[in-house]
Amino acid sequence: MSVKNLLDLGGKVAIVTGGSRGIGLQMAEGLGEMGARVAITARKQDELDAARAHLEGLGIECLTVAGDLARFDSIPGMVDTVLGKWKQVDILVNNAGCNWAAPAEDYPDAGWRKVMDLNIDAQFMLAREVGKRSMIPRRSGKIVNIASIAGMGGNPPSWNMYTIAYNTSKGALIAMTRALAAEWGRYNINVNAICPGFFPSKMTKATLDRLEAAVLEITPLERLGGDEDLKGSVVFLASEASRHVTGQALAVDGGGMTI
């Protein structure tokens, strides 16, 4: 099979959570460009509508599914919507996430619970739902969890970031990726993670306004993530090109983790 055919996603159905903007929309675009039909989820319908218009303008077939993944009882219905439209889910990109900053000694219970609910609990529950209802019965699937380089360690003390729940949740997501890959390999389901570094986004704006120079100083490629820097990674991990790759965490951070 040619490399082009290995990367082709024609006929596949992908769910991208948090797909209405930022890196989620970027990845939805990449999957759609390679032929996938893309269902994007987010809380705000107006942002979903704008994203769908953008994707359809590129010739990508798109379905929007509004809902809050942190409301766990909404997850089956979200999957119902996709299966009702396209009968299958071949690719799941678990991208939705949130952050809450506070020093560890003063970290509020509500903040910790909010981050864990969305960044790890909802990711597992959605993977479980999609796996049980589509991927396992069909003996085929690709799950790509969007973790973070923050899940690979702590923050530089001088940065004063105070994101212990975020780091913890992303570390847990990497561990979940490896455990699920080991358990579901028998069903021909590949489970991998992408660990982005700093990409300009609504979530990272406050941090980058304060720390962009410091981030660039420890980044060998001397740049932040851009509008196309996750497309290749997610297409590779969602396609047959990665059929012998599972349980891996790929850092896409300009080389920051090498220092």
C-alpha–C-alpha distance, residues 186 and 183, integer Å: 7
Q: Output the pLDDT for position 64.
A: 98
- Residue tagged active-site, from 107, 162, 166, 187: 166
* CATH of 3-251 given 3.30.450.20, 3.90.180.10, 3.40.50.720, 3.30.360.10: 3.40.50.720
**229 has pLDDT over 90:** yes
* Residue 195, pLDDT score: 98
Supply the pLDDT for residue 257: 85
- Residue 58, classified by CB atoms within 10 Å of its CB into exposed (0-12), middle (13-18) or buried (19+), is exposed
Does the pLDDT of residue 165 top 80, yes or no? yes
pLDDT tens per residue across span 200-228? 888 888 888 898 999 999 999 999 999 99
* Rounded Cα–Cα distance for residues 243 and 9 (Å): 13
Other Cβ atoms less than 10 A from the Cβ of 208: the count is 18
Structure confidence by residue, pLDDT tens digits, 56-109: 999 999 999 999 999 999 999 999 999 999 999 999 999 999 999 999 999 999
Active site residue 166: yes
Q: What pLDDT is attached to residue 209?
A: 86
**pLDDT of residue 170 exceeding 90:** yes
Give the chain's mean pLDDT. Answer: 96
pLDDT at 207: 85
pLDDT of residue 201: 85
Domain-by-domain residue ranges, the chain? 3-251
pLDDT confidence of 231, banded at 50, 70, 90?
very high
**Does residue 66 contact residue 88 with C-beta atoms inside 8 Å?**
no
- Percent of the chain exceeding pLDDT 70 equals 100
